[in-house]
Amino acid sequence: MKKFISKLIGFSLGPILGAAISFLTIPVTTYYINPAEFGKASMFSVIQYFLLSIIYLGIDQSYTREYHRDDNKIKIFQNALLIPVLAAVLLCTITILFKKQFSILFFSNPNYTQISILFGIMIIFSVIERFILLSIRMAEKAVEYSIFSIFLKIVIFVFTLVLVLVGKRTFLTIVYATIFGQFFGDIFLILKYRHLFKINVDIFDSNLMKKMLIFGIPLIIAASLSNLLNTSSRFFLRGYSTFYELGIYTAALKISNILQIIQSAFTSFWVPTAYRWDKEKKDIKHFSFISDMLLLIMTIGFFFVLFFKKYIVLILSNDYAEAQYIAGLLALTPILYTLSETTTLGIVFSGRSYYNIWISILSIIPNIILNYLLVPKFGTVGAAISTAFSYIIFCIARTYFSRKCNFKISFFKQIICIILFFIAACMNTFPYEYSSLVTLLLFLATLLVQASTFSKILEIRNNSKLWNFE
């Protein structure tokens, strides 16, 4: 167990400190940049995030699956990287040819063509960065992974600070800081791991690439729909509301990303560990205990956000005060995604990646319907409710299809707690006299539901020989 915790801490260090640095960026930008400008900048990030999910072609997931199946790691890396890089080059060419159209897509203005060109180049760097970091992560080099995660965040923070100090106080501050921070950080990363790029024609294996594509292609559709799930609320806010409301929503996302620290820390460590445990035929009770412990940690984190939302929002300027009322709903996104990472393993272990398409469809349909109905009337609150409810469906669907693949860990406690989370988040979307008392009662109820988890902790402590977390 000590080795397990040690490696978890090693992987957690980078995401935690990286998130802390990103968190420092929030007051720098929100103090100087008003919500409308902040909303414009968010569309740039949304489109980048969405397009990258398609360009990976699901091969990034195939890469993690194949990593432990061949001793020649450079061979797997180069075969996995080739097709996504070619797709990124193609997209870069398109952004250059249609730079005005992309400028309109980003900012509703055709005059920022230079950003369209830089965006295309940045996509290529982002793809290479993704596979280098996956390589470090799958090798379980925890400290190294953490160092470079921190480094990339620091670079973007420094660029943001410099641009603000020299007088750039528009959405362009965030956009240029993101672009040039990405360039600088990724160039360093590529030079550091240049041994991964030593080309040997004999390394390329058409059968391996075909195998990764077969596993990855269903994930393209699933990833696209999943990213639409993450971004659709912001598209609806842009279409049916204002850049101001979009800025408030984006600021609330930044606040709720406190819990994304746990998500990043856990998933960075969990994916390679889970694959190794599956290879070692680890008893299902170990997976189930990790899921229960994660639920307990997420419970504490979620109610921390609700109890201290007023004070957390103080890091923003007064213009963003409304963000506190939707922070709880948006915090459900990292919570539900992270919990589902422990329950969806049956799908990845069995190779039935096509189930992810059904999961995404089941999640996106209520998301679009609710956004259409709620955003025009309730603005950011409607968008937040749509996202939270859709992620509940996402988490349940991932668990259901995983159980169909015979990965049947207990999920009863999770369901009850998720319902209580959603009620608590909705009860905090408006101010009223007894909000703190209601939130406290719901917190105690979720802890009561998890009483068996505390018993299990004591059991493991007293009978450690029956458990093996190495």
In the chain, domain spans: 2-466
Contact 361, 353 (CB under 8 A): no
What is the structure's pLDDT at 299?
94
Would the pLDDT of 35 be above 80? no
Spatial CB neighbours of 439, under 8 Å, sequence gap ≥ 6: 303, 306, 307, 424, 427, 428
| This prediction's pTM | 0.73
Q: Which residue has the tokens 């432990």?
A: 68
Q: Is pLDDT of 302 > 90?
A: yes
pLDDT at 22: 65
**Which range has the worst mean pLDDT, 15-24, 143-152, 444-453?**
15-24
Task: Quickly state the pLDDT bin for 384 (edges 50, 70, 90).
Answer: very high
Section 258-285 average pLDDT = 76
Placement of tokens 């004999």 in the chain: 202
Q: Does the structure show a pLDDT above 90 at 19?
A: no
| 449 Cβ contact list (under 8 Å, min separation 6) | 413, 416, 417, 420
In this predicted model, what pLDDT tens digit does every residue of 55-88 receive, in sequence order? Answer: 888 888 888 878 777 777 888 888 888 889 999 9
For residues 318 and 343, the model is more confident at: 343
Alpha helix (H) residue ranges in 344-450:
345-350, 355-378, 380-404, 412-427, 435-449
- So what's the pLDDT on residue 467? 66
The residue with greater pLDDT, 159 or 415, is 415
Has residue 420 got a pLDDT over 90? yes
Angle 380-404/355-378 helices, nearest 10 degrees? 160
| Residues with Cβ within 8 Å of residue 203, at least 6 apart in sequence | 72, 74, 75, 78, 79
Q: Are 309 and 328 in contact (CB under 8 A)?
A: yes
Average pLDDT over residues 311-325: 75
**Per-residue pLDDT at 466:** 64
Quote the pLDDT of residue 345.
85
**Do 300 and 282 meet the contact criterion of CB atoms below 8 Å apart?**
no
Give residue 16's pLDDT band: very low, low, confident or very high (50, 70, 90). Answer: low
- H-type helices in 241-319, by residue range? 243-256, 260-279, 284-307, 309-312
* Whole-angstrom distance, CA of residue 446 vs CA of residue 450: 7
Q: Given this model, what pLDDT does residue 166 score?
A: 77
Q: What pLDDT, on a 0 to 100 scale, did the predictor assign at position 185?
A: 86
What pLDDT is attached to residue 449? 94
